[in-house]
A and B are shown apart, each in its own frame.
Chain A
Amino acid sequence: EVQLVESGGGLVQPGRSLRLSCTASGFTFGDYAMSWVRQAPGKGLEWVGFIRSKAYGGTREYAASVKGRFTISRDDSKSIAYLQMNSLKTEDTAVYYCTRCGGDCYTSSNWGQGTLVTVSS
């Protein structure tokens, strides 16, 4: 069974950094792209970005709202995807989900349960 478990969320002040982790199990992690999607309280879904598998170059794509501040990485030996968030803003407050997807991450076939990030002074 595919399982994705996010961790690392919490309360952080504006301008500070936070790193989220997504620990995967139940599949060959290195064969899949991994993405992050967020959801502000009471709002809809917003794509954050994704990282391709090594077979597709391991490159990354980001939404304009986070580009230059957020970095997605992966450790295939540990089956973990990361979301490094720098220069956090109050509008980054959201539940952050990691998802499993293929190729260019067109479709998120599996989702974690999410982790809440609150950016507030």
Chain B
Amino acid sequence: DIQMTQSPSSLSASVGDRVTITCQASQDISNYLNWYQQKPGKAPKLLIYDASNLETGVPSRFSGSGSGTDFTFTISSLQPEDIATYYCQQYDNLRLTFGGGTKVEIK
């Protein structure tokens, strides 16, 4: 199975900061990569699909890029409501795996 290495596992940033999370796949997954946000005690929510497409209704400060094995998720200007854990998820050969998650906190 394809392994997803997500980093960092946690970060602390100030409101208005640019935040970047990376996800590396153990083999080429083209653009089959999604990003989810999970707030404490809540279900995950899809933010980005196919590596760079913004889900309907998601604020434009969220973005994704990458293809192949290296992917990046960015929050252009961190807001207090963005406190959450973010997961990447790949799909390849009918198997799905998630990254370990990145917990984002406000400094």
Distance in angstroms from A103 CB to nearest chain B CB is 10
Count of A residues near B, CB < 8 Å? 19
- Complex-state Cα separation, A97 to B55, whole angstroms: 20
Q: Does B97 contact A (CB under 8 A)?
A: yes
Contact with A46, one of B38, B46, B98 (Cβ below 8 angstroms):
B98
Prevailing SS type, chain B contact patch: strand
**From B101, which residue of chain A is reached at the shortest CB distance?**
A44
Q: Tell whether A106 pairs with B32 under 8 Å between CB atoms, given A47-B97, A47-B98.
A: yes
Residues of chain B in range 20-36 having any CB-CB distance to chain A below 8 Å: 32, 34, 36
Q: Cβ of A107: which chain B residues have Cβ within 8 Å of it?
A: 34, 46, 49-50, 91
Cβ–Cβ contact A112 & B43, under 8 A: yes
- Residue of B1, B45, B94 near A104 (CB, 8 A) is B94
Known: A64-B1, A111-B43, A113-B43. A45 touches B32 (CB 8 A): no
Known A105-B91, A108-B44; 11 more pairs at CB < 8 Å = A45-B38, A47-B89, A47-B95, A63-B95, A64-B1, A97-B43, A106-B96, A107-B46, A107-B49, A107-B91, A108-B34
- A interface, CB within 8 angstroms of B: 37, 44-47, 61, 63-64, 97, 104-109, 111-114
Residue positions of B touching A, CB distance < 8 A: 1, 32, 34, 36, 38, 42-46, 49-50, 55, 87, 89, 91, 94-101
